[in-house]
Homo-oligomer: A and B are copies of this chain.
Amino acid sequence: MIDRDDIMEAHLFRHACKVFDSQKKISPEDFEAILEAGRLSPSSFGFEPWRFLVVQDMQMRQRLLPLVWGAQRILPTASHFVVILARKGDSMRYDSDYIMHMMRDVHRLSEESAKMRREKFEKFQREDFRLLDSERALFDWSCKQCYIALANMMSTASMLGIDSCAVEGFVGDEIESMAPELFGYDSREFGVAVMVAFGYRIEAPKPKTRQKMEDIVEWYPQR
């Protein structure tokens, strides 16, 4: 158990850090903990539709630069830069090899349980969430799971005194045509969900702005 005030301090410490101290590197142990927070994240049906690309090659970061919004100061200075890929297309359908692999080899379900679970998953994808209506709907649902991992990586960083910045603003089509070749992944199987930089701040953050608690929370029954 962790002290409540320490947790809150970490959430307040976190801000969108737009430039890092390029001289300060995150220790291997701390960065491993950040990745582990991503790996241990929950996901729908436990299907972990993510992949984390750790881009430490500065020439690769240079090639990303024109495709990533406002990252002119982030990419060259971040200690670690992670591209989070989300599974897409056939690889996330209820009847894919990947889903069978997850159920058999990772969840270690029996053939019988895997079959039942696949039926439930088909109903979820086809009827309840209508994820099979379009390629985009299925990919966006996969991305949502990646945002859980993203959040856990950033909050774990902040608890370790490490700054971060999520990078959502990239040029969709161009990144999709360039990234698979750059990183060597199959564009039929994965797409870029979001990116995130980690490192140490050199500037004081702007004061945090948020809506008031009473503007975003409703209690039933009312308090």
Contact = CB atoms under 8 A, between A and B. Distances in A.
A169 interface: yes
Given A4-B30, A166-B42, A218-B183, A151 B147 contact: yes
Q: What is the interface residue range for chain A against chain B?
A: 35 or more
A130 B135 CA distance: 14
A55 B220 CA distance: 5
A160 B1 contact: yes
Interface centre among A37, A107, A145, A220 (most CB of B within 10 A): A220
A35 interface: yes
Contact of A56 (B6, B52, B219): B219
Contacts of A50: 216
A119 to B, nearest CB: 13
Interface string A159-203: 111000010111110000000000101000000001000000000
A52 B210 contact: no
A112 interface: no
A77 interface: no
A54 B213 contact: no
A74 interface: no
A54 B145 CA distance: 22
B7 A156 contact: yes
Contact of A12 (B4, B40, B46, B171): B40
Given A2-B160, A107-B209, A152-B155, 15 more contacts: A1-B160, A2-B6, A4-B160, A7-B37, A12-B40, A36-B213, A37-B155, A39-B213, A39-B216, A39-B217, A50-B216, A69-B124, A136-B137, A140-B140, A149-B151
A33 interface: yes
A116 interface: no
B159 A7 contact: yes
Nearest to A36: B8
Contacts of A7: 2, 33, 37, 156, 159-160
A217 B33 contact: no
